[in-house]
Amino acid sequence: MSCFLFSLRFTAPVHFGLSDAAMSLYASEETFRADTLFSALCHTALHAEGEAGVTRLCEAVQRGELTLSDAMPYCGDTFYLPKPFIHAPSSEELPAKQRKTMKKLRWLPMHAFERFSVSVHGGAAFVPETVEGFGVHEDYTKAAVTDGEDANPYQVGVFRFFEDCGLWFMLCCPEEDGPYYETLLRLLGMSGIGGKTSAGYGSFEIEDVIFLDEPFDDQTEWLHDALAQENSSYLLLTTALPEKEYLESVLDGAYYQLTRRGGFIQSETYAAEPQKKDTQYFLAAGSVLKRKFSGGLFNVGESGKHPVYRYSAPVLLGVSL
């Protein structure tokens, strides 16, 4: 398996609904998760190749020949990783302002990860760098118009990335399949990812494709080594869930948070009326595990005309935490 790093530059605001919110239309997250990406790739493959395209993607995951990370931010030349869900003890006491900053911190610059790791093992306190953010949250008022009735206004929350910021993720597959997935991603960029794509949200261009088997700087070398590293701890980069029979062993000694995964089934052939996907609670990216797991696909639609799968095959980094 080879791993490719895709960095995306968004050409429009994005709407990534809050999975834990009852009214996710009114706010947007900054990133999307791997199951959202996989579903979007399946829709793109369906339009481009028919059902054979969807089958190809699903079978690749089931064979262990396609794994995806969640999307994570970048700014300029710096890639960011989720802050691990682990307490970082230190002999040094941080000032109150820095403690608050650390508590709110969601992302670590990749070049600072080793300093964070040292602090976990009792070294010097990790002092987070000042980050102004990756973009701004905005609200737009839209109107739903039904024949014969007054317009019904509603709010849509979006996120707009700063000029030099965007999202990156990893896709691991056999090297020869890389161009196929790049083509699918370029097609997906035209239609957009996330919610309200019919209104033009979520469109993107591929800023760069990095073949991580051939690292060329400190960040890509660190990623290349961490992907191959067999270690006592693993940083989860994919919102994912082990199969039931492996769950207890994977959670043993782990530091983790759970996140809700739900949503509606976007298929015209599944059922006559919109149907909800089964709700599950996945391990969030940033969880620190003592054991690897392979994951796969969960069937989250049981009453329609065809299976509906939720992606759950993780990318794990071997780290010292």
The token pair at 241 is 């869930």
CB proximity list for 28: less than 8 A, separation 6 or greater: 14, 15, 16, 17, 18, 137, 157, 158, 159, 194, 195
Cβ contact 308:300 at 8 Å = yes
More confident: 91 or 1? 1
First and final CA of the chain: distance in angstroms? 25
Give the model's pLDDT for residue 304: 54
pLDDT at position 32 is 95
pLDDT > 70 in the chain, percent: 83
Question: Which pLDDT band, with edges at 50, 70 and 90, does 252 fall under?
Answer: very high
Q: Decide which of 274 and 63 is more confident.
A: 63
Q: Over 90: is that where the pLDDT of 7 sits?
A: yes
Phi-psi region of 180 (alpha: psi -120 to 50; beta: other; left: phi over 0): alpha
User: Between 193 and 232, whose confidence is greater?
Assistant: 193
pLDDT of residue 142: 61
How far is it, in rounded angstroms, from Cα 121 to Cα 178? 38
Q: For all residues of the chain together, what is the average pLDDT?
A: 86
- Per-residue tokens: 321: 């935490």
CA distances from 216 to 219, 221, 225, 319, 320 (A): 8, 7, 12, 20, 23
Q: What is the pLDDT of residues 43-58, one digit of tens each?
A: 999 999 999 999 999 9
Predicted confidence at residue 25, as pLDDT, reads 62
Helix (H) or strand (E) holding 61: helix 51-62
Return the SS3 of 149: coil
Q: Which amino acid is at 42?
A: C
Weakest-pLDDT range from 15-19, 161-165, 254-258, 313-317:
15-19
The span from the CA of 304 to the CA of 273, in Å, is: 10
State whether the Cα torsion 186-191-195-199 is positive or negative: positive
Digit-coded pLDDT (tens) for 271-312: 556 667 778 899 999 999 999 999 889 988 766 556 788 999
Give me 137's structure tokens: 């949250």
Q: Note whether 157 and 139 are within 8 A (CB).
A: yes
pLDDT per position as a tens digit, 76-120: 999 999 999 987 655 556 666 666 667 778 999 999 999 888 888
CB of 70 within 8 A of CB of 226?
A: no
